[in-house]
Structure 1
Amino acid sequence: MGIFKTRQNKKFSYTPRHYQGDGNPYEIKHKFDDFRTTVGSNKGLKAKLNNALNDYRHNSDKTANKRVLIIIAVLVLLFLVFIGFDLSIFFSNN
């Protein structure tokens, strides 16, 4: 027992009993990572933003795009009401 020596961790060669797949069984990976373009090793903010916009543009589900736009519009409207913006310019005075 040395005073200045650090203790080494034990190493085991464990293989799961019922695992019959390919690859590493301990790899944590989301099941949709293969289909996303926004997940990857690109580090820059500009590349991430461009990938997200391309994914949004080429989305085949148009109802999701409309839903996102409606949510953004409602949040902007609530923000304008909250800060006290005069909303009467959007409505006609007939």
Structure 2
Amino acid sequence: MGIFKTRQNKKFNYIPRHYKGEGNPYEIKHKFDDHRKTIGKVGLKGTFENAMDDFKNTPDQAANKRTLIIAGILILIFLLIIGFDLSIFFPKG
């Protein structure tokens, strides 16, 4: 028994009696596994390089900006609802 090895789950070949589909209905799989490179067993260096590639290749910078703007507007509306004094954000003139 290795200290650093993870234990593998047992696999059974059970097929339900009334299942008429493709593949295993009990397979646990994340819905984005097909699109990510960091899922396979590559090793520490390969995993780190794949994670950095995924981090650098963000497809939509406009979506991030849009999300921040929406979050800011929602916070502003929340502050107005609770009666927060917004005059501290503006210079006195």
TM-score after normalising by structure 2: 0.45
Q: Is the radius of gyration larger for structure 1 or structure 2?
A: 1
